[in-house]
Structure 1
């Protein structure tokens, strides 16, 4: 009896060691994708890789890497070449934020944020996107945020990087129109992941103060919204009807008013002592 040979497909996911990245890896593996899992915390990546292999029977490759390093995108491409597959999915999820007055921020930390949230994302989108275009199919998902739709005092640099991600991804999507490659900006709202801890937001305030439906949504549910939108080739996916409504208001109202409202909310988020 002839044995069916399963076609190998590859999904590359950055920031895969926690939060949305982990959930996107699970969604990809559930659909039969091999995964290339990228983050700094190799122990977490290996645990996730073992989980995906055991639960879904797919190969999971681990690449421990700091994407803020100048040579990082090249190392990602070398890892892809070693696997021997052109990615059908690229999820640029790696990123971090920092809370507080911009003038009091550490310049070196802000530079790293720019390099990770915008620089590495851009280079990987373009380099992997070229391979997808040549192959004739592919999906790129860049994780932005609802912070992309307005200025975010006290999260100013983070919000600016996410506005960049949204604008860049929409532009890339238009350039790809008419091809079988699509780019999606995924814009989740406040969700219970490790982001708040890394950004220095107080656990007791970071989500309860927002009082949004997305604050109580588990990361896996929000990730599925982004994943399904990416598969359909949608340019922008905002998770949750409340967040979609807020994004519309942010674009419709005078920018000064929106900034003051954002500052009123965000400055009440106390950093942990």
Structure 2
């Protein structure tokens, strides 16, 4: 599909809703959506960062992205966003739930409020949007949902414990919803990348030259892999051969062994 011309009425064009779009994978997904002929409706808290992304998309593709600043950790803000967009623009062709964050370190040393926001943003918000938008997609007879999970979903993650748990939740609920929607024309894909070269590591409290960043995959490659998997309707897409091997091993090995190895690897990331 060709990208929409800047003269195209964005209200009548097929569109994609992308959260966490102010940087990293979300910004790349937004550009890919524009390249695919969809008007990106990009959402994050920081309006100034979103406008910068929108300008980059316009320059690269000629498509005018729609900016919506919102606190996606607040349930009422999420519902209001979804309902307003459905009313204004109809049903999106694509929903990408990408917003989220992590925090490296011992759970006992972290402020509980951080974890409460993390659970809301990483787990509850993708579910809220998947249900609200998924119902509209089912009624319209088609649509694609991409939930950005993580290889952290496949095992306990000491020193990244709550983040890993939110991604395990998101993987599980994505697979369940994909099966419930089988045959409806709506697909749900859980993208499970390993460490990816975005600002995730530094935002989670790591140094810029930490092992996380040294082992991280290219964000552009990860985003394009995820988009292609979504378009193919794959329920689960683990990016990278070593990540696929690791995810399988984590499911087959004894749990005690898996959590000890995970702890040794993750403590080195700090």
TM-score range, shorter chain: over 0.9
What's the CA shift for 1:104?
A: 1.2
Q: 2:52 aligns with which of 47, 50, 72?
A: 47
In the TM superposition, what whole-angstrom CA distance separates every residue of 1:212-248 from its partner, at most 9, and x where no partner exists? xxx2x32011100000000000000111101001101
Gap change, CA 1:149 and 1:243, over 3 Å in 2: same
Measured after TM superposition, the shift of residue 186 of structure 1 is 0.3
Aligned CA RMSD, in angstroms, stands at: 1.5
Moved more, 82-91 or 148-157: 82-91
2:232 counterpart residue number: 232
User: CA separation of 1:178/1:82 partners in 2, compared to 1, >3 Å: closer, same or farther?
Assistant: closer
The one-character-per-residue Cα deviations of 1:244-263 (angstroms, maximum 9, x if unpaired) are 01101111100110100010
Residue 171 of structure 1: which of 172, 176, 185 is its match? 176
C-alpha separation between the residues in 1 aligned to 2:160 and 2:119? 13
Per mean C-alpha deviation after superposition, the further-off stretch among 62-71 and 159-168 is 62-71
Which residue number corresponds to residue 205 of structure 1?
210
**Contact 1:202–1:269 under 8 Å retained in 2:** no
What is the Cα deviation at residue 79 of structure 1? 3.7
Check 1:204–1:56 CA distance in 2 against 1; reply closer, same or farther (3 A cut). Answer: closer
* TM-score using structure 2 length: 0.93
Paired with 1:206 and 1:11, the residues of 2 have a C-alpha distance of 34
Matches within 5 A, 1:104-253: 104-207=109-212, 211=215, 215=216, 217-253=217-253
Q: Distance in 1 between matches of 2:113 and 2:33?
A: 34
Q: Which residue of 1 aligns with 2:30?
A: 25
Residue matched to 1:260: 260
Shift, 1:136, TM fit: 0.6
CA distance in 2, matches of 1:186, 1:259: 22
Give the deviation of 1:14 after TM superposition: 0.2
1:101 — aligned with what? 106
Report how far residue 76 of structure 1 moved: 1.4
Report the 3-state secondary structure (helix = DSSP H, G, I; strand = E; otherwise coil) of the residue aligned with 2:90: coil
Cα offset, 1:206, TM superposition: 3.3
Q: TM-score scaled to structure 1, two decimals?
A: 0.92
Greater mean deviation of Cα atoms: 154-163 or 78-87: 78-87
How many matched pairs?
261
How far the C-alpha of 1:266 sits from its partner, in A, is: 1.1
- Offset, 1:208: 5.9
Decide whether the 8 Å contact of 1:8 with 1:34 is kept in 2: yes
Q: Residues of 2 paired with 1:76 and 1:57: CA distance?
A: 25
Determine if contact 1:143/1:185 at 8 Å carries over to the other structure.
yes
Q: Which runs of 4+ in 1 moved over 3 A?
A: none
Distance 2:56 2:209 in 1: 31
Q: 3-state SS of the aligned residue for 2:206? A: coil
